[in-house]
Structure 1
Amino acid sequence: MVGHNPVSDPLWNSEDAPDPINLGPVEWVLVLVRGLPLALLVFGGLLVLLCFRLIEHPLFGVHRPVTPFISQFVCRNAFRILGMRFRASGELMHERGAIVANHSSWLDIFALNARKRVYFVSKAEVAKWPGIGWLARATGTVFIERDRKKAKEQTKVFETRLKAGHKLLFFPEGTSTDGLRVLPFKTTLFAAFFADELRDFMYVQPVSVVFHSPKGQPDRFYGWWGDMDFGPHLLKTLGARRQGSVELIYHTPAKVSDFANRKALAAHCEEAVRQAHVLARLEK
């Protein structure tokens, strides 16, 4: 099983059991028709990225002038292969800083990378996961440990990456949901932003990620939460006769130094993400 949680436990669980997955002959044909090109795109793109990284790393170090464009190309075209509509609104942040978004599915990673070249922040355990860990390391994921003793060391890593122009992406809910709600943002994740090395130059941009289900399917069709296995959810997504869409809403970046503390900043970002999420779902 691929874990959902990029930073912290526990996992969120719905009171209602996940919807059953039933794949007939047509759905299995779609799994093959979409799955094979998608696998070729993802793993072929990874191979190209690794080849470029062999040259890029010695020449530019932490800077990545080429490989993020490869990741973005892969993610944009993944939605074309799936047949999912993708749309985004709002201005992208130009200041140095981080992006925070709600978390509903593994598809969030493709969506957020498709619009903007970002680097995800994940718990250290993910680096050891078969396949996923390798992919995460190759694409520049920042791994953090939930150990107060290493807080200063991790702040230094953030500072280095942010000053290199990297946009770091956090999921402050700490877990994924069914896509029908936004959970309270954990304020712990915002603490590092207030370090003396970061506070004065750093901005945080909230982003609402909204999935619209295929016609005739439950509203939580794309949600991936709790103990749901990755494999069946992937097959369900690949085999959908009709696909829905994903929508990204970028909000005004918030300057960290304008807020008194991490709780105030987290509350501001959470409110922006939640309001837009609710409105976007009502307008479906």
Structure 2
Amino acid sequence: MTTWRDEEAAPPSRIGAAGWLRVALRGLVLGVVTYGCLVLLLLCRLVERPLCGLNRPVTPWITQFVCRAAFVILGIRYSTRGRPMRHKGAVVANHGSWLDIFTLNACQRIYFVSKAEVAGWPGIGWLARATGTVFIARKGTEALAQKDLFEARLRAGHKLLFFPEGTSTDGLRVLPFKPTLFAAFFADGLAEVLHVQPVTVIYRAPEGADPRFYGWWGDMDFGPHLLKVLAAPRQGSVEVVFHDPVPVAAFTDRKALSAHCETAVRHAHVI
């Protein structure tokens, strides 16, 4: 997998006594809410799965509650522009941070598409599996199987969200979109009924902090980055911009659809 790297490394963060107190308080509350609701979600799935199969009429509401609560606990200001589409289809967005999991789940009922390695990550991996994330291995030999998996979930009515950049960045830029995963939308019988909605995620750092404060890229470890966010005395903000959904059938191929979505996301990405 290709990982985006910046020539200039992120400055090291130092956490003082007050910062560690914030880490303890925010971390405790966030952990209780997140994993307490995870237990509730898993209990609901015991009933939901045999009755509804791939459909999840109840548990996505639990996920959405946790993600909304996370921003209140962290103190990060959260806002949206536009509305999530009502059409059947998929959502594509730029990828700046692990916070995208909370950011994009807080405002809509979606299922993430993520690299296979995430399934094995402590904490995040458990949450991702429980919330119905689609895991993919970025290998050409598995492209056909992944395309079939996408089609099955889309036909089941799941609104999938994926990051066409293929990696996270410092949050200050949008990388070129890779059109590979767009191919699933053009399968027989799908192109005529599916829409795709581009979404722009904009992180703004706390006042006086490095503009890349919420960005997560390169060799950055999750733990230290999480501690930095928990310890911040002042927080910044995140804004989610929903663009007009477009019918897949309006485009000749995956490259044309990918280019349209990239243009929409990039145009609104103003820090």
TM beyond 0.5: yes
**1:4 is matched with which residue?**
none
**2:22 is matched with which residue?**
30
Does the 8 Å contact 1:213/1:221 carry over to 2?
Answer: yes
Match of 2:104 among 107, 112, 118: 112
Match of 1:101 among 83, 93, 109: 93
**2:73 is matched with which residue?**
81
Deviation at 1:152, TM superposition (A): 4.4
Match of 1:265 among 253, 257, 262: 257
Matches of 2:73 and 2:211 in 1, distance apart?
Answer: 22
Matches of 2:235 and 2:66 in 1, distance apart?
Answer: 19
Matches of 1:200 and 1:63 in 2, distance apart?
Answer: 22
TM-score, normalization by structure 2 = 0.96
| TM alignment of 1:202-241, pairs within 5 A | 202-241=194-233
| TM alignment of 1:1-284, pairs within 5 A | 9-148=1-140, 150-278=142-270, 281=271
Does the 8 Å contact 1:96/1:163 carry over to 2?
Answer: no
Worse-superposed segment, 104-113 or 195-204? 195-204
Q: Which amino acid aligns with 1:50?
A: L
Deviation at 1:202, TM superposition (A): 1.2
Worse-superposed segment, 159-168 or 103-112? 159-168
Deviation at 1:177, TM superposition (A): 0.5
Matches of 1:20 and 1:151 in 2, distance apart?
Answer: 38
Does the 8 Å contact 1:159/1:197 carry over to 2?
Answer: no
Deviation at 1:266, TM superposition (A): 0.7
Worse-superposed segment, 9-18 or 67-76? 9-18
Unaligned runs of 5+ in 1: 1-8
Matches of 1:242 and 1:130 in 2, distance apart?
Answer: 28
Does the 8 Å contact 1:179/1:223 carry over to 2?
Answer: yes
Match of 2:128, SS state, is helix
TM-score, normalization by structure 1 = 0.91
Match of 1:220, SS state, is coil
Deviation at 1:39, TM superposition (A): 0.6
Q: Deviations over 1:238-261 (max 9, x none)?
A: 010000111000000111111111
Q: How many residues align?
A: 271
Deviation at 1:151, TM superposition (A): 4.2
Q: Which amino acid aligns with 1:83?
A: G
Deviation at 1:129, TM superposition (A): 3.4
Deviation at 1:149, TM superposition (A): 5.3
Match of 1:269, SS state, is helix
Matches of 1:124 and 1:134 in 2, distance apart?
Answer: 13
Matches of 2:160 and 2:29 in 1, distance apart?
Answer: 29
Worse-superposed segment, 162-171 or 75-84? 162-171
Matches of 1:66 and 1:226 in 2, distance apart?
Answer: 36
Q: Which amino acid aligns with 2:109?
A: R
Q: Deviations over 1:153-210 (max 9, x none)?
A: 4334323322333210000000000010000001112122112242111111000000
Matches of 2:140 and 2:232 in 1, distance apart?
Answer: 44
